[in-house]
Chain A
Amino acid sequence: MDVSRHYLSSNTRPSAATAELVLTNGRFYTVDDATPWADAVAISQGRFIAVGSADQVAAHIGEHTRVVDLGGRFVMPGLYDMHTHPDLALAPGYAGYLDVGLEDPTPEQVSQAILSYADQHPGDGWIYGAYFVRYTFKQAGIVPDRAWLDSIVSDRPVAILDRSWGCMLVNSMALELAAIDVNTPDPRHGYIERDGITGEPTGILVDGAYAMIHAAMPPTPAHALQRAYREGVQFQSGRGVVGTKFVHVCEHRLDALRTIDQQGQLTVRVEAAISWQDDIFPVKRRWELIAGERHFYRSARLNANAVKFHFDGTHESRSSYLSTPWAEGSAWRGHLNLTPEHINDMVADMDRKGIRVIAHCTGDGASDLFLDAVAEARRRNGGQGMRHQCAHSTTLLDANLQRFSELDVIAEFSPVGWFPSSFAYARAVFGEERMQRAYNFKGVLDAGGVAVMGTDWPVSSLDPWIGFEAMVTRENPWEETDASFYGEPISLEQAIRVMTINGAWAMGIEHQAGSISVGKSADLIVLDRNLFEVAPRGNIHATQVDLTMLEGEFVWDAQGEFSGTVREAVWQRDIPEF
């Protein structure tokens, strides 16, 4: 069966022993204990058929084999970024929404911007964008309400966000399309501002009420989602990523990923996790996707066999769910968005369906309950089942470290907050004791568990090398400070495993990818420096990726080494700047 997967439409089969491509004169760090180092590899049909010394590999060179001399460069397996969001980072900016484009626009300027947008985008579609400033209305003696907006445009829906995201101003048609009227109940965590006497909506919507407008609006345009993902994977390939998880997708996001895949531009293996909640964007076909529609998107590069949900809150709003109260003398432990019972049943159900559950757990209480849910799923379903993923894992209980290995749960650390920076120290609100256990890669690894990392872009940079370096140093890569971050560093060898084979394990493909081993997918990166020969600090994060190969195909070629040849990379020379 495995052979027929790679059949060629030809009557003559090439010898399995003959390589299409041989990379030689490299310093290959394989992440394979059987052969930790090699000088050369032979590749055929997208797989490594030999890994070893130049002589061993030379036996696979045939008449038509392309032999590439790497000039002594360092090579290792490709990287895995196990939690990120190019769509959230880029798509809104590419959607072509209205941008008033002024720092403190007056009502007159907002009105002009709406009218000129309407001119440039004729029809009856939504006019959606940012922003207005309530204060400038107050200065002008104008009440920002639907009557004001109706006086500018009344024949198509308009929704404008407040500068500080404090509220959204919508016109009457937008209210009508969103079915918001005098009888509409207020949503959770938000409200519909109303006339005190009549109860009629004024056109001002607060917080949770935005979702009612978003649900009525067309989804983020396909072109914007496609561009966001395309540029995201281009950047990732340029930085050596071969496997990633786009955590939170809907049917439209999957459509965009499928389009890129079909265009041959999905140059990273993507596991897309269907959003379990509608808190970021509505997922109208969630249950169809989970029931089986997700398979429609499946390819060698793309699968949607995962769901993602927000179990607890965040450190900013002190809503992360902790195992003990946030502060002495207080009962506040944070907030769970879903009940533990919901999670128990849901994890067991998804587990049976072969769907990975990725749970946002920033607090040590949330991950504790999530591990309980996985234990319950194991009890109900028997066996080890799916590997579920504890996302963020900002702070974990020491007593739970062992359970990651026992329950086959992926400990995913994100965003990159394990080096000294104001971004990372914002989490110090967790308290000194809990911060000692922050981003505890070492604890999980020492207990025999599998740790992976995620960039969680746009929360931290999409560049995986920053977190890679900081795993080994716990220090600021740009030497802005000499302080060390809480917790203990791990060795370079451990960090490389976290970035490579552990990622493959987290995607369930460790038997076919994640190391440079015979029989595995020919995924590798050629670097401008040998990671074992440089001081980690200040160097690892600045590593340049010369070449990225996925399934034997160059997807990134920094210098254009293969430009104009049959091996020309999908992306070369330019990496997008965000």
Chain B
Amino acid sequence: MKHQHFPPVPVTIVSGFLGAGKTTLLNKILNSDIGLRMAVMVNDFGAINIGRDLIVSETQTMVSLANGCICCTVESDLMEQVSRLLALREQRPEYILIEASGVSNPSKIAGTLRYPQFQDQLVIDSVLTVIDAEQFDQLEGELAALAMEQLDIADIVVLNKCDLASPAQVRAMKQRWLYPGVRLLEARFGEVPLELVLGVGAFDPVRLESSHECGAHCTHADHAHQFESWSWSSDRPLSLAALRRVLESLPSSVYRAKGICCLAELPDRRAVLHLVGSRSELEPGAPWAEDQPMSRVVVIGERGQLSLPQLEAAFEGCVA
């Protein structure tokens, strides 16, 4: 049975070795007001530090929080557990965040969530891999193979504990492990900006760009100062191949992009663009019907690092 009346629930997977800093990120989400009913699947409650005053109720495997989040341990078959979350009535999550255990292969998790059983129910928003700058360069054998899986599946790589590693270590790490087009965010103390983790709700790039202005009550901490957005629109159809080339070669300062495109190859319906870090996806969306076909793309990148004329020229070059 498909739940057509619910939009697909976005999922973020956070991978990384034990001690890399995943828990700090999870704590930050669980302890802040993010305006979304989130389900956070963690490996171990013990490692998570949830403010006692936030806890509404708890069982051995699930904690409900005042901010609408639920936190559960990854205790059984992943498919079954995700299905159960999706079947919740009142607490059906609007977002699912999965912590991949330090020893599990995140590609397998992402693969499983793309099974046909979950089509129309889940969409992988992003995969973040947190790596410890100091520890990462010493990996060998099976651990090195697992590190490759983590980096391969990553949309965004968070290089954590930069302050603890020497510049030489960081250089050596980058030399050995990074790849072209990598989105690398250097962080300390696991401080990861939430707009990189979450692509919807208060952090929806479209909303960020169009309506949000940081005021005195803004809960987004410093995100607005770290990132900026740029948008582009056109009423002429775009070439699919050209658009793909542009998306693949966007500068690494671009972290997210969202949009609706009008493609020459798909004249009758919208093409929905979703870009997170080094991964972009274009999928058919709703028919244009009576609406005027039009492309509109919002790009979010590091403040001061986006070359607006270059972006403008690149997207203009997609016009078929």
Contacts and interface: CB of A to CB of B under 8 A. Distances in A.
B105 A331 contact: no
B248 to A, nearest CB: 9
A191 B115 contact: yes
Contact of A189 (B115, B152, B271, B281): B115
Contact of B281 (A134, A196, A317, A331): A196
Q: Name the residue in B61, B81, B105, B116 with the highest tally of chain A Cβ atoms < 10 Å from its Cβ.
A: B116
A47 B105 CA distance: 56
A101 interface: no
A197 B266 contact: yes
Interface stretch (B8-16, B72-80, B295-303, B311-319): B72-80
B77 A328 contact: no
Given A141-B180, A189-B115, A335-B80, A329 B62 contact: yes
B11 to A, nearest CB: 16
A318 interface: yes
Contacts of A163: 145
Contacts, number: 101
A191 B116 contact: yes
A422 interface: no
Main secondary structure of the interface of B (DSSP, over half): mixed
A189 B117 CA distance: 8
Contacts of A330: 61, 75-76
B44 interface: no
Given A134-B152, A139-B179, A332 B81 contact: yes
Nearest to A189: B115
A197 B152 contact: no
B61 A327 contact: yes
Contacts of A448: none
Q: Which of A198, A206, A334 has the most chain B CB atoms inside 10 A of its CB?
A: A206
Contacts of B266: 197
B149 A135 contact: yes
A97 to B, nearest CB: 20
A206 B111 contact: yes
B113 to A, nearest CB: 10
A318 B77 CA distance: 6
A164 interface: yes
Interface string B79-120: 011001000000000000000000001011001101111010
B105 A166 contact: yes
A328 B151 CA distance: 35
B181 interface: yes
A335 B77 CA distance: 9
A155 to B, nearest CB: 26
Contacts of B81: 332
A136 B149 CA distance: 10
Contact of B60 (A208, A327, A331): A327
B265 interface: yes
Contacts of A326: 75-76
Contact of A135 (B61, B152, B283): B152
A207 interface: yes
A135 B151 contact: yes
Interface in B234-290: 240, 263, 265-266, 271, 281-284
Contacts of B77: 313, 317-319, 332, 334-335
B148 A196 contact: no
Nearest to B111: A206
A284 interface: no
A443 to B, nearest CB: 27
Nearest to A165: B108
A207 B62 contact: no
Contacts of A197: 240, 263, 265-266, 271, 282-284
Given A197-B283, A317-B77, A329 B59 contact: yes
Given A196-B282, A319-B77, A330-B75, A190 B152 contact: no
B152 A186 contact: no
A313 B80 CA distance: 13
Contact of B148 (A135, A198, A207, A335): A135
Contacts of A200: none
Nearest to A319: B77
B271 A166 contact: no
B115 A190 contact: yes
Interface string A182-226: 000111111100001110000000111000000000000000000
Give the one of A139, A167, A186, A208 with max B CB within 10 A.
Answer: A139
A560 B115 CA distance: 57
Given A196-B282, A197-B284, A318 B105 contact: no
A348 interface: no
A401 to B, nearest CB: 27
B84 A331 contact: yes
A109 B144 CA distance: 19
A164 B105 contact: yes
A188 B149 contact: no
Given A135-B151, A328-B60, A332-B81, A166 B179 contact: no
Of the candidates B59, B76, B107, B179, the one having the most CB atoms from chain A within 10 angstroms of its own CB is B76
A318 B281 CA distance: 33
- Residue from A133, A138, A313 with most neighbouring chain B CB atoms (10 Å): A138
Closest 6 CB pairs of A and B: A135-B148, A135-B152, A186-B116, A329-B59, A332-B76, A139-B179
Given A163-B145, A327-B60, 10 more contacts: A104-B145, A133-B145, A141-B179, A141-B180, A164-B108, A189-B115, A191-B114, A206-B111, A318-B76, A335-B77
20 contacts: A134-B152, A135-B149, A135-B152, A136-B148, A138-B151, A138-B152, A138-B179, A141-B179, A141-B181, A164-B149, A167-B111, A188-B117, A191-B116, A197-B284, A207-B112, A207-B115, A318-B76, A329-B60, A330-B75, A330-B76
